Amino acid sequence: MKEIEPGNVLEGPYWQEKVKVISVKRIGVKQLRIEVVGVDTSRY
């Protein structure tokens, strides 16, 4: 699996549109906090 980094574009069932990663913070051994913004709507 690739590492999630700022600038990556993600898509999947968790979001209604493609999202761009703004920041990534590790909050546990297997957990990340990911801040994203919508590619089309610019919504957080």
- pLDDT 10s digits, 3-21: 899 999 999 998 999 999 9
Integer Cα distance of 8 and 13 in angstroms: 17
pLDDT band at 1 (very low <50, low <70, confident <90, very high): low
Residues in contact with 25: Cβ distance below 8 Å, sequence separation at least 6, in sequence order: 32, 33
Q: Is the dihedral of CA 26, 9, 2, 14 positive or negative?
A: positive
pTM reported for the whole predicted model: 0.82
10-39 burial: b if 16+ Cβ within 10 Å, else e = eeeeeeeeebebeeeeeeeeeeeeeebeee
